[in-house]
């Protein structure tokens, strides 16, 4: 089985922002548990994805593909703590990534990852994507 282009990209030394952007659809949607809502658009998604590779180390351990959907499992470390991610990638008819959703475990290590990402992206990602917001009734809303 051929590796997904995103996996190949991440496993190639010297990966660039432009190289990553070439894999993404213009209106790509990225869903991550570190944000309160999805990140949308090639420019913002690529910056978030590339930043994540600077705060953790690891490798892909599994890949499963069916049609235009791919599941990747990644294992690595952040600050010496094991982090595992599971991601679903959906490609469009041109082979570009149109949707990517990632989940992590364990939760305490996710908080380390989120904190590291916040420090690097807080000036680019709006504050309401980092924190749950309350409406005037005191109910939590996610701005979706």
Tell me the per-residue pLDDT of 12-66, one tens digit each, with 9 for 90 and over: 888 788 999 999 999 999 999 999 999 999 999 999 999 998 899 999 999 999 9
- As for how many domains the chain has, the answer is 1
Give one DSSP letter per residue of the chain, joined into a string: -PPPHHHHHHTSTT--HHHHHTTEEEEEEEE-TTSSS-EESHHHHHHHHHHHHHH-EEEEEEEEEETTEEEEEEEEEETTEEEEEEEEEEE-TTS-EEEEEEEEE-HHHHHHHHHHHHHHHTTTS-GGGTS-EE-TTS-EE---
- Read off the pLDDT of residues 113-132 as tens digits, 9 standing for 90 and up: 999 999 999 999 999 899 88
pTM comes to 0.88
Domain containing 115 equals: 5-141
CATH number at residue 49: 3.10.450.50
- Read off the pLDDT of residues 69-104 as tens digits, 9 standing for 90 and up: 999 999 999 999 999 999 999 999 999 999 999 999
């Amino acid at each position: 089985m051929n590796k997904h282009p995103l996996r190949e990209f991440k496993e190639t030394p010297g990966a660039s922002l432009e190289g990553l952007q070439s894999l993404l659809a213009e209106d790509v949607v990225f869903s991550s548990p570190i944000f309160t809502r999805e990140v949308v658009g090639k420019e913002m998604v690529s910056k978030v994805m590339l930043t994540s590779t600077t705060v953790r180390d690891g490798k892909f351990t599994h890949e499963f593909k069916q049609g235009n959907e791919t599941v990747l499992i990644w294992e690595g470390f952040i600050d010496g703590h094991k982090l595992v991610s599971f991601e679903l990638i959906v490609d469009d008819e041109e082979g570009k990534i149109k949707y990517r959703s990632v989940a992590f475990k364990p939760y305490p290590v996710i908080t380390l990852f989120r904190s590291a990402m916040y420090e690097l992206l807080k000036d680019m990602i709006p504050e309401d994507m980092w924190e749950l917001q309350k409406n005037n009734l005191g109910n939590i809303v996610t701005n979706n």
